[in-house]
Amino acid sequence: MLIRRHNVIAFLALCVLLASSSVTSAQDPPASLVASVNGDGKIKLGKEEFKLHAIVVKLFQDGKAEINLITDITVFIEGTWSRGNEADKTIDLKITGNSMSGNLDGGGKLFLTEDRKSITGLKLQVINKTTKKNVTADFTAK
C-alpha cells in the first residue's frame, strides 16, 4: 500500500484539529447550568430570618436565571446572569423579580466548584420594591 505525502499531511492536520477542539471545549465554561445543592445558610426577608437548607439554580444560555431557595418556605427568584471573575469561578446575578411579579431589584454572586459544574455558595442582596423590605441570602454548600 502506497502512502502519499498529501494523505499523511491531511491525516495529521485532521488529528491536530480534533485535538485542539477537544482541548478548547474542555476549558470553556458551560453555557448553561442546572444544579441543586444542600448546605447551610440563612435568608432574611425583612425582619424575619429562616435557615436555608438547599438551593436549586437554573442558568439558561439566553442569560436568564431561576433560583429556588429552600427553607421552611420556598422562595422563587428570577433574573439574569453573566460570567463573573473566571479566576474566582463566580457568576454575577442581577435579580429582577420572582415568579409572580417583577418587584425585586438587586444582585448577588454564585460561587462554583473548580470544574464549574456545581455550586459552592450563594450571596444575594435584593430589595422588594413593593414592600421596601430587604432580602438577603447567604448560603454555603456542604
pLDDT tens for residues 38-56?
A: 999 999 988 999 999 999 9
Closest to 124 (Cα-Cα) out of 139, 113, 114, 112: 139
33-141: CATH topology is Lipocalin (2.40.128)
pLDDT of residue 97: 85
Closest CA to 83 of 31, 120, 125, 35: 31
With 0.75 as the threshold, say if the pTM is over it. Answer: no
Question: Do the beta carbons of residue 81 and residue 95 sit within 8 Å?
Answer: no
The domain locations on the chain are: 33-141
pLDDT of residue 56: 95
